[in-house]
Structure 1
C-alpha cells in the first residue's frame, strides 16, 4: 500500500502524464470546502507535494523566459544583445527557433497546469501546494522579456510623460521626442494614444520611470515587481472570499494563480490588472466583513488603477447597506451611500492631485475602442453582419460595428441595473452578481483584451464550481493566451492558427476530466489510493 507521500510520484508516473485516476471524474460534482475542523487543518499540513508537476511547469516558464529574448516583446535596440552574433535569435531562422521553443515552453506550462488540476480534482493536494506551484512557475516570468504583449512599454512611456511634464491624458508617448528608447519600443498602434488608466497607476508608473530612466530592461522588471503585490493581496483576499462564497480553496488557487492566464499573461505581460485585482478583491472581502470604510477605500484604489473597477462600487454599497440596522431599505441605502461617496470622492481627488493630473482619463477611455477584435461580443456581431452583407454590397465595417457596440453598451446597462437591484440583500449574493457584471463589462465592451476577462473571473473563482465547468474554463484559459503572438500581435484573424489553438485548448480542458482523452495509451496503472482524498481543502 502506498503512503500519502508516494501518491504524487505514482500519479505523475502514469502513462501520458496522467495525474488522475484512470476512471473519469463525475463532471457535475460541485466542489466545495467542508466545514473547518482540526482534522482538515492537519490534513492540509500533511498534504503531499506534486514535485514532478511543479518541476514540469517551472521548466516551461524557464523556456518561456529564455526564448522570449528572441520571440517575445523584444527591444528595438537591445543593449545586451546588440547587433552581435546573438542577435540572430531575433531574425530569420533564429527567430523561428526561438518562437518554436517559446510555444514548447507554453505547452509544458499548460501540461503542468492540467496535471496539477487533476491532483486538485482528485483531492490529492491542498491549496498550499497549488500556491507553491504557482510561485515556482511565476518566478522565471518576473525576469522575462514581455510575452504576448508590449503593454509594459506603454506603461513606462506614460510614466515618463508624467515625469517630464506631459499630460498622459492629452497625448500619446510620441511627444517624448528626447527619449527615443521609450517611444520606439511602444507598439506603433499606441504611440499616439493617451493613457486610459487612473491617477494611482500613472503615479506608480511615474515613480518607476524616475528610477529607471531609459533603461528598458530594468524598467520591465521593476514594473513587474511593483505590480506583483497585487497578486499577494489577491491571495489574501481569496482565502477569505472562498469561505464567504462557498468555494473550494485548492480549486480557487488553481484557477486564480496557477493558470496560464495569470502566469503568462498577467505576470509575463505584465499587465496592471494584477494590481487592480489586488485592491478590488481585498476591498470586497473587507466590505463583506463589515470593515466598510476600508473596503470602499480599497475598491476606490482599484478604480484609480483601471477605471473599469468602478462597476464594482455600487454592489459594495449594497453590501454595506445590508449590514445596517434600519428596517427600511431606502434609509439603509442612503446611510451607506453618503459615506461611500465621501470616501470615493475624497480619495480619488487626493490621488489625482498628488499625481498632478486631471480627469482626462474619462475621455481617454475611448482609446482602446480603436482596437477591433471578435473577443468583444458586440464587435463580433458587427463583423458577422458585415461579412454577410458584403456578399451582396460592399459597405464600411463601421456601419455595423458601431451600432453593435452601442447595443452592447445598452445590454450591459440593462443587465447591470437589473443585477444591482437584485442585490439589495447584500452579502455573498451581491458579490456574485458583481463578479458577473465585471465579466460582462469586459465581454460587452467595444474592445475585449484576453486579460480583461480576469476582472470578474478572479472573484468568481471563490465560488463553488462543477467539474465540467472547470474543464470549460481550462480550455478558455489556454485559448485566450494563444490569441496573440509572443511578440504581442493579434492572431484572432489567422483562422488556421485559431482553429489549431481551439483544438488544443479543448484537449487541455477535456484532459482535466479524462486521462488520455485521445486514447494514445491502452494501459493505465491503477492506484488503489488514488481516489482517497488526502486533503480536505
Structure 2
C-alpha cells in the first residue's frame, strides 16, 4: 500500500487483490468491497487548513504589540528585584543601582504590576491576530520571536509569585546528602543552612511531593552549585525552559492533528500570562512534566492511523507498536516528574482502542498494555535513581496548604465560620478533609465519564484528558493558578470552539493577577497592594493611550467580514458543537478508506470547527 497526499493510489501488484474489509462504527460488518483503491492522506482529515500571511499593516501592528509586551516584561523584571521572592542572602543587594529596588518595595511592586498588566494586555492584543476564524493569521515564526522577547528578561530574575524553587533546592540537597527526601524535610539540613533559609516555614518539615526523577535531577543541580542559591535557582529555571521548549515544539504538531491552527494553540498554550509569570518567572517543574506528557502523546500517535468514526481498521503500520511503547514510556517518565501526567495514559489507551473497533475488549487490551509499560518504566526509573516507592507517601504533602483561591478550601472555611457562628465549634479541618475526599471522587467520576465518552466518539480523547486533569487540579484544596495549565495546554491543541477559548482566556487573565509577585499575602501591610496597583494601573492606561496614538488599529480595529473564513451564524455554532462531540482524529497517521473515489475533505484544508467528511 502506498501513501499519497490528497490523491488516490492503486495498490501495488505484490499486494494482491483487494481483500474484503469491515466498516461501520464499533465494528459492525459491511459488505465486501471489490475496489482496489485506498485513500491515504498524509495529514489529519481535521487539519485546520493553511492560512494566508498577514498584511504589511497587520505585521506592523504585531510588532508594536511585541514591543509593548517586551517593555512589560522588562518592567516586571526590574520590579521583581524588590517585589519578587528574593533569596534571604540576596546578591542584588551588593550591586550598585539595582540594590535600590529592594529598598523601595512599594515602587518595585508598582513596577511589577505595570509589567504584569502590560504583558496581559499585549497577550490579548496578540490574540486578535491568532483567531482561527481569520483568513490571515500570525505565523509561528512571529510567535516564536514574541516568546523570545517576552521571556528573555524573566530568565535571570529572582523567583516571582512563589518560593517553590527554594523548596526544590532544599529537598534536592536532602537527597544529595544521602537522606530520604520522602521521609524528612529540608529542615534536616539545619535551619541555618543557606539552602533552607529561603524555604517557607510550612514546607520545612514536610516530605517532598515530587517524583523521584525530578529530585534526582535536582540533586545533580545542587551537586554543581553547592550552597550558591542564585546559581541553583538559575539552573532550575533553565530546566524549566527545557520543558517549555518541548511544549513549543510539540503543541503545534498536536494542534495540526486535532484540527486547531498551530498559531492559535501556541498563543493560548505558551504565550499565556500564566506561563510567563509562573512557569518562567516562578521556575515551576510543571513545564517539564507537561512537556514530556505531550511529547509522549505525539510519539505514540506518530504511527497510528487517522480515523474517522465508521472507518474500518487499517493494517498495522510499520513501527506502530514500537512508537506506542515509546510514547507510553515517555508519559510514564513525565509522571516521575509530577504524577498528574499518569492520567494521559488512560486517554492514550482510548486512542489505541479507537484505532481498532473501539470496543470494550479493545479498551481492556490497550489498558493492559499501558499498565505493563507504566509498571516497568516507573519501577526502572524509581530504583534507577536510587529511591523506592516511598515517594508515594509524599503525594499528600500539598494538602497541608489550604489555598484561598481553591474552591474546595474556601467552601470548607466558610463551613467552619458557619459552625463557629452557630456555636457548634470550629470544625474547619474536618470539613475540608471530607470535602477533599468528595472532590477526589468527583474528579475521578469526571475522568471515568470522559474516558467512556471518548471511547464512544463523543469527545476527542485529548479534550477528555484536559478536562479530567483540570478537574483534579481545580478541586484540589491547594489549587494554584499554574496548575490549570495542565488542562489549558492540552485543550489548546484539541478544543476548537470559541467558547473554550473565551473561557480559557478569561480564567488566565483573572488567575494571573490573583497572586502578588512575591508570593505572599502581604500580611500586616495590605495597604501596599492597592497603592501599588492604583499607581501601576495609571501608568498602563497611559501606555495604552500611547499605543493607540501610534497605531489606533491595534486597539480598535474593525473586523472585515472578508477577513473571516465564513460569517458567523447559528449554523456555524451547530457545526462547532458537532465537531466537539464527533472526533475525526482520535489517533494519527494515515486514513485507510476503501472507496472508489477520494472524498473532497480528506487530507484537504478544512475550516476551524467543521467536522471532516465521513464515509
Q: TM-score, normalised by structure 2?
A: 0.71
Q: Partner of 1:182: helix, strand, or coil? A: coil
468, 475, 481: which one aligns with 2:512: 481
Match of 1:104 in 2: 114
Query: Aligned equivalents of 2:476 and 2:531: distance in 1?
Result: 27
Give the superposition deviation at 1:88.
5.1
Residue pairs, 1:152-231, within 5 angstroms: 152-177=165-190, 180-231=193-244
Give the superposition deviation at 1:256.
0.9
Asked if 2 retains the 8 angstrom alpha-carbon contact of 1:230 and 1:277, the reply is yes
Match of 2:78 in 1: 66
- Matched residue pairs, number? 486
Match of 2:126 in 1: 116
Q: Partner of 2:151: helix, strand, or coil? A: helix
Query: Aligned equivalents of 2:382 and 2:220: distance in 1?
Result: 15
Query: Aligned equivalents of 1:244 and 1:427: distance in 2?
Result: 17
1:470 aligns with 2:501: yes
408, 432, 447: which one aligns with 1:378: 408
1:345 aligns with 2:375: yes
Give the superposition deviation at 1:137.
0.4
User: Comparing 418-427 with 485-494, which one deviates more in the overlay?
Assistant: 485-494
Match of 1:391 in 2: 421
Residue pairs, 1:304-315, within 5 angstroms: 304-315=336-347
1:142 aligns with 2:155: yes
Q: Partner of 1:224: helix, strand, or coil? A: helix
1:450 aligns with 2:462: no
Asked if 1 retains the 8 angstrom alpha-carbon contact of 2:74 and 2:153, the reply is yes
Match of 1:28 in 2: none
Q: Partner of 1:422: helix, strand, or coil? A: helix
Query: Aligned equivalents of 1:457 and 1:493: distance in 2?
Result: 35
Give the superposition deviation at 1:355.
1.5
Gaps spanning 5+ residues in structure 1: where? Answer: 1-31, 504-510
Give the superposition deviation at 1:482.
2.3
Asked if 2 retains the 8 angstrom alpha-carbon contact of 1:242 and 1:463, the reply is yes
Instruction: List per-residue Cα deviations over 1:268-305 (Å, max 9, x = no partner).
Output: 10100000010111122233333311211111011010
360, 365, 387: which one aligns with 1:357: 387
Q: Partner of 1:201: helix, strand, or coil? A: helix
Distance change (3 Å), C-alpha of 1:496 and 1:74: closer
Q: Partner of 1:196: helix, strand, or coil? A: coil
1:248 aligns with 2:261: yes
1:400 aligns with 2:410: no
Distance change (3 Å), C-alpha of 1:236 and 1:216: same
Asked if 2 retains the 8 angstrom alpha-carbon contact of 1:247 and 1:463, the reply is yes
Asked if 2 retains the 8 angstrom alpha-carbon contact of 1:492 and 1:498, the reply is no
1:48 aligns with 2:59: yes
Distance change (3 Å), C-alpha of 1:144 and 1:534: farther
Instruction: List per-residue Cα deviations over 1:250-275 (Å, max 9, x = no partner).
Output: 22111111111011111110100000
Asked if 1 retains the 8 angstrom alpha-carbon contact of 2:488 and 2:504, the reply is no
User: Comparing 157-166 with 173-182, which one deviates more in the overlay?
Assistant: 173-182
Distance change (3 Å), C-alpha of 1:45 and 1:303: farther
Give the superposition deviation at 1:424.
2.2
Asked if 2 retains the 8 angstrom alpha-carbon contact of 1:88 and 1:95, the reply is no
Query: Aligned equivalents of 2:524 and 2:137: distance in 1?
Result: 41
Give the superposition deviation at 1:212.
1.0
1:297 aligns with 2:329: yes
Match of 1:19 in 2: none
Q: Partner of 2:257: helix, strand, or coil? A: helix
Distance change (3 Å), C-alpha of 1:208 and 1:381: same
Distance change (3 Å), C-alpha of 1:403 and 1:211: same
Asked if 2 retains the 8 angstrom alpha-carbon contact of 1:284 and 1:431, the reply is no
Query: Aligned equivalents of 1:88 and 1:530: distance in 2?
Result: 49
Q: TM-score, normalised by structure 1?
A: 0.81
Give the superposition deviation at 1:168.
0.8
Give the superposition deviation at 1:471.
3.7
Match of 1:26 in 2: none
Match of 1:260 in 2: 273
Match of 2:464 in 1: 433
Query: Aligned equivalents of 2:429 and 2:522: distance in 1?
Result: 21
Asked if 2 retains the 8 angstrom alpha-carbon contact of 1:479 and 1:501, the reply is no
Distance change (3 Å), C-alpha of 1:241 and 1:258: same
Asked if 1 retains the 8 angstrom alpha-carbon contact of 2:53 and 2:137, the reply is no
Query: Aligned equivalents of 2:564 and 2:441: distance in 1?
Result: 49
Give the superposition deviation at 1:497.
10
Asked which structure has the greater CA Rg, the reply is 2
Match of 2:398 in 1: 368
Query: Aligned equivalents of 1:315 and 1:84: distance in 2?
Result: 54
Query: Aligned equivalents of 2:488 and 2:244: distance in 1?
Result: 14
Q: Partner of 1:281: helix, strand, or coil? A: helix
Query: Aligned equivalents of 1:429 and 1:214: distance in 2?
Result: 48
Distance change (3 Å), C-alpha of 1:259 and 1:501: farther
Distance change (3 Å), C-alpha of 1:482 and 1:183: same
Asked if 2 retains the 8 angstrom alpha-carbon contact of 1:285 and 1:295, the reply is yes
Distance change (3 Å), C-alpha of 1:498 and 1:377: farther
Give the superposition deviation at 1:384.
2.7
Query: Aligned equivalents of 1:134 and 1:405: distance in 2?
Result: 37
Query: Aligned equivalents of 2:205 and 2:114: distance in 1?
Result: 35
Asked if 1 retains the 8 angstrom alpha-carbon contact of 2:329 and 2:373, the reply is yes
Instruction: List per-residue Cα deviations over 1:468-519 (Å, max 9, x = no partner).
Output: 543432232122122222111147999999999999xxxxxxx9xxxx9xxx
Q: Partner of 1:340: helix, strand, or coil? A: helix
Match of 1:29 in 2: none
